[in-house]
Amino acid sequence: MNESVGFVGLGIMGRGMARNLLRAGCALTVWNRTASRMDPLVAASAVAASSCAELATKSTVIFLCVSDTLDVEQVLFSDEGVATGVQPGALVIDCSTISPAATRDMSDRLAALGVEMLDAPISGGSEGAARGTLSIMVGGKASQFERALPYLRAVGQTVTHVGGHGAGQSVKLVNQILVVGTMLAVSEALIFAEAGGLDVAKALAAVEQGAAGSWMLSNRGTQAAKRDWRPGFTIDLQQKDLRLVLEAADQFGVPLPSTHLCFQLYRTLQARNLGHEGNHALLKALEHLSGITVGSRASSDP
């Protein structure tokens, strides 16, 4: 761990990851657009930079964890961006979830400056970021993956090299197809159980250890059945990821009917100003269509 590390983007995910890099003993420089978010890390011995460019002059490994594709482009290539200060030979590790195609373009632009890039999107929520237990899907050169591994292991538990530039982002989108498809099935199952007069909680408990069991069913299905809409992952961020999935699917020329349906259903929830709720609130879209509210019937005696 002898490289100087920079971290750009101290949001819900980035702040936990940066803290784990400090715990692992890294010399860490940080930058965040809203400067006050740097304070807790500076108090924990990180150094605050005044711009991404300044951070890049001090770092040979530079993590990014910002929102969307255009945000990564800005922190890399705007006037005060990483590219302005970066040293040849440095490595950029982008942990944001963004477009695979744009990732390949950006890695080419950095390569022209002699700078390496890995896409390393993450899964595991704010809890995973805080605990250092994230799953990380990495795209890029194998040699750079080996170089990054000690730093990635400081923030994640399952770190997998899945292919060349953009492959990490594509695997993250595979993850998102599975997440929303499962949530749609869970929502339909809850509506069906309610319409059939079943005790919904008992129905879930009866099936969750069988062949239909999944993390989404056990965690988010149970939460939806209790009408607890607090987010692990918001509808707005979910929609950003589904847009990336559908754009990539369009480029591949493949139909994704269920994912497309989920995108449209989540859009109805955004139109009702529910974008800040958790992605399991997909149930509310089906409730609206069916006129059934899960949890509205008293459970019948056995």
Residues in touch with ligand NAP (CB under 6 A)? 9-14, 32-34, 37, 65-67, 71, 74-75, 96-97, 122-123, 125-126, 233, 237
Nearer to ligand NAP, 12 or 201 (CB): 12
Which residue number has the CB closest to ligand NAP?
11
Nearer to ligand NAP, 270 or 290 (CB): 270
Burial zone of 235 (CB within 10 Å; 0-12 exposed, 13-18 middle, 19+ buried): buried
Instruction: Give the rounded distance of the alpha carbon of 235 from its chain centre.
Output: 12
Min separation Cβ 85 and ligand NAP, Å: 15
Rg (CA), the chain: 21
- Picking from 32, 36, 88, the residue whose alpha carbon sits closest to that of residue 63 is 32
202 as an active site residue: the answer is no
Burial 213-228 (b: 16+ CB within 10 A, else e): ebebbeebbbbbbeee
Min separation Cβ 198 and ligand NAP, Å: 31
Nearer to ligand NAP, 33 or 297 (CB): 33
- Say which DSSP state 65 is in: -
Nearer to ligand NAP, 94 or 116 (CB): 94
Min separation Cβ 105 and ligand NAP, Å: 17
- Picking from 188, 105, 174, the residue whose alpha carbon sits closest to that of residue 137 is 174
Among residues 172, 226, 240, 284, which one is catalytic?
Answer: 172
Min separation Cβ 262 and ligand NAP, Å: 16
- Picking from 234, 34, 244, the residue whose alpha carbon sits closest to that of residue 121 is 244
Cite the active site residues. 172
